[in-house]
Amino acid sequence: MKTLKLDSSFRPVQIIDSYDAFGMIYMKRANLVESYPGEFLYSTHDRFPLPCVISLNRYVKIPKITLTCNRKNVFWRDKNTCQYCSKVFPSEELTMDHVTPRSKGGPKSWENIVTCCKKCNQKKGNKLPREADMIPLSIPSRPSPYMFYTLGKEVIHPQWAPYLGKYKIK
Ligand SMILES: [Zn+2]
């Protein structure tokens, strides 16, 4: 089983093994926030609730990671989904689209770049979304570096959802 580790201000930090999470509680480095209902860890004389969510006793200074707005990261943010036709493509068949075209002063930034299939890219050309009648599925924004690496690979337990907030990834 896995445990969601929060820092002292309840920000998600990491997903760890539940045994390690229990060890941290035992060593008084963390507190139990939620346990898995009906799941226990047994010692010779005792049983302990299996931690589902724990919080650290300290604040974790999360380093400011600058996420570069490049192909790989943009496709990751948009889950390889063309933001105009909503189809999923392999990375080779995708391109980055400037929502406001470069020719109209649109910058290459997280807020102006979306994942786009080649067909839609051609169709949109140098037009603004309203001119082309092509509106991105979601408003492009800078993804949070929080849990960028761990969360995408993990199965998210429903009990974690309230703590993950906008970092929830399906
Ligand atoms: Zn498309």
CATH class for the region spanning 71-132? mainly alpha
- Per-domain residue ranges of the chain: 2-63+145-167, 71-132
Distance 117 CA to ligand 1 centre (A): 4
Distance 127 CA to ligand 1 centre (A): 15
The residue-averaged pLDDT of 3-28 equals: 91
pTM, full prediction: 0.54
Q: How far apart are CA 63 and CA 75, in angstroms?
A: 23
Question: What pLDDT score was predicted for residue 165?
Answer: 62
Closest alpha carbon to 12 in 25, 22, 24, 3: 3
Tokens in use for 129? 């979304």
Kindly tell me if the per-residue pLDDT of 7 is higher than 70.
yes
Distance 118 CA to ligand 1 centre (A): 7
Closest alpha carbon to 104 in 136, 134, 120, 126: 126
Distance 88 CA to ligand 1 centre (A): 8
Q: What would the pLDDT profile of 127-150 be if each residue is shown by its tens digit?
A: 999 999 999 998 898 776 555 555
Q: How many CB atoms lie within 10 A of CB 93?
A: 13
Task: Output 70 or 65, whichever has higher pLDDT.
Answer: 70
